Structure formats: structure tokens, C-alpha cells
């Protein structure tokens, strides 16, 4: 896995101090492995890599990283408004074609597939934050405020790429790290369902 943290990318979007926001188009397998390891509650942890790779190659899922020099210190995946419904359809069709995965992961998949809220009407101004992985050890030399400012600045840059203004996402209630991060950074809770919290943030 060392290669994940050392390969150089030319797709730099913005740099703040020693941190760079980059668009990732290579090493998708390594990035996928890290996402599944760090976010075991993601539905992609039960769906194979080839399916995920196809989503990235077709532009349905887009992957960004935050790098400190050449090392990846954060992974961010997003889905735009036009692809949000398409992604759910593709996952549904994949599961129809792979009933064995449904059988052995039925409860998990049922809970994940219906992670939707009826209290948010999304449009082209919305961008779905699908995954956020943060390797905390690489941020220890800066203050929490500096870290948050870096992420919010990079979130703004990503939104601009899609002509969007609002990030929205959901996470499990027991995920205290996610809850602390999003609420500290002024993401607003707009719905709760069972063990899921739905949040959004408008970034100008």
C-alpha cells in the first residue's frame, strides 16, 4: 500500500500550505481498498472493485485526494446531481445480477440501499459527498482550526468544479468522528432515520 502515498499526480487543483487538492485518475484499486477499510459501512465494501472502477471510469463517481507533498492524507469521492439517481440504479441492477451477494449481506445491503431522505429536494446546486477518509496523523502539526479551514477551502473548490453550492451526505449515528467533524464544520442536520444522520452545508 506504500505506493498509494508516494505516487505523484499532476492533476493538482489548489494548494494551501503543504496540502494540495488533486483529482485522482490512477491507482483506483488502492484508493478503493482504503475506502472500504476506513468506511466499512459503505455499500461499496460489499460490492466488488470492478464495479467501482467502472463507476469511476464512466465519471459517475469522481475521486479527489488531499496530498501532503506526495502522500495522500485524505480521500474524497463525490457524485453530481445528474449521476446521483443513476448510481442508485446501477447498484440495484448489480445486486439483481449478483443475488448471492444479496443473500449473504441482506441486512447490511437493505440498510444501505435505502439511505435516502424525503426531506431534501436535490437539484443541480447539490453535490453528494459519497466518501470522506481522513488520515489524522498527517494533520497533527497544525491546529484543528487550520485543518478545518483547509478542508472547507477544498470543499469549496470541488463544488465549483460542478457548479454546485451545497454538499449533502449521510452517516451512521454511531460514527462519532464523522458527527464531530461535520457538526464542527457547520454542516446542518436536515433529517434522521433509524440510525442514519443526514447533513448538508451551503458553501459560498
Q: Calculate the alpha carbon distances from 141 to 65, 113, 137 in Å.
A: 19, 39, 9
As a whole number, mean pLDDT of residues 166-186 equals: 94
The pLDDT value given to residue 66: 96
* pTM confidence score: 0.89
Distances from the Cα of 133 to the Cα of 3, 76, 96, 99, 121, angstroms: 17, 7, 29, 29, 26
CA–CA distances in Å: residue 119 to residues 150, 159, 185, 191: 30, 22, 21, 7
| Structure confidence by residue, pLDDT tens digits, 71-115 | 999 999 999 999 999 998 998 888 888 877 777 666 766 666 666
What is the distance between the alpha carbons of residues 151 and 136, in angstroms, rounded to a whole number?
13
28-80 residue pLDDT tens:
999 999 999 999 888 888 888 999 999 999 999 999 999 998 899 999 999 99
What residues form DSSP beta bridges with 169? 199
pLDDT for 106 equals: 60
- Strand partners of residue 19: 16, 68
Over pLDDT 90: what percentage of the chain? 66
d(CA 165, CA 153): 13
pLDDT higher than threshold 70 for residue 136 = yes
Are 198 and 189 contacting, i.e. CB atoms less than 8 angstroms apart?
yes
Ramachandran area for residue 59 (φ above 0: left; ψ -120 to 50: alpha; else beta): left
Average pLDDT taken over every residue of the chain: 88
Amino acid at each position: 500500500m506504500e505506493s498509494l502515498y508516494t505516487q505523484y499526480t499532476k492533476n493538482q487543483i489548489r494548494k494551501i500550505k503543504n496540502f494540495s487538492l488533486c483529482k485522482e485518475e490512477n491507482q483506483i484499486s488502492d484508493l478503493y481498498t482504503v475506502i472500504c477499510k476506513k468506511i466499512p459501512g459503505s455499500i461499496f465494501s460489499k460490492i466488488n472493485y470492478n464495479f467501482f472502477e467502472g463507476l469511476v471510469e464512466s465519471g459517475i463517481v469522481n475521486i479527489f485526494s488531499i496530498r501532503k507533498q506526495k502522500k495522500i492524507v485524505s480521500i474524497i469521492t463525490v457524485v453530481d446531481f445528474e449521476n446521483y439517481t443513476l448510481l442508485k440504479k446501477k447498484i440495484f441492477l448489480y445486486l439483481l445480477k449478483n443475488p448471492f451477494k444479496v443473500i449473504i449481506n441482506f441486512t447490511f445491503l437493505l440498510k444501505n440501499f435505502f439511505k435516502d431522505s424525503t426531506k431534501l429536494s436535490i437539484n443541480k446546486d447539490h453535490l453528494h459527498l459519497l466518501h470522506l477518509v481522513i488520515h489524522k496523523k498527517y494533520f497533527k502539526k497544525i491546529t484543528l482550526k487550520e485543518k478545518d479551514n483547509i478542508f472547507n477551502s477544498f470543499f469549496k473548490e470541488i463544488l465549483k468544479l460542478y457548479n454546485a453550492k451545497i454538499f449533502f451526505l449521510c452517516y451512521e449515528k454511531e460514527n462519532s468522528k464523522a458527527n464531530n467533524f461535520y457538526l464542527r464544520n457547520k454542516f446542518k442536520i436536515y433529517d434522521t432515520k433509524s440510525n442514519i444522520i443526514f447533513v448538508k452545508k451551503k458553501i459560498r
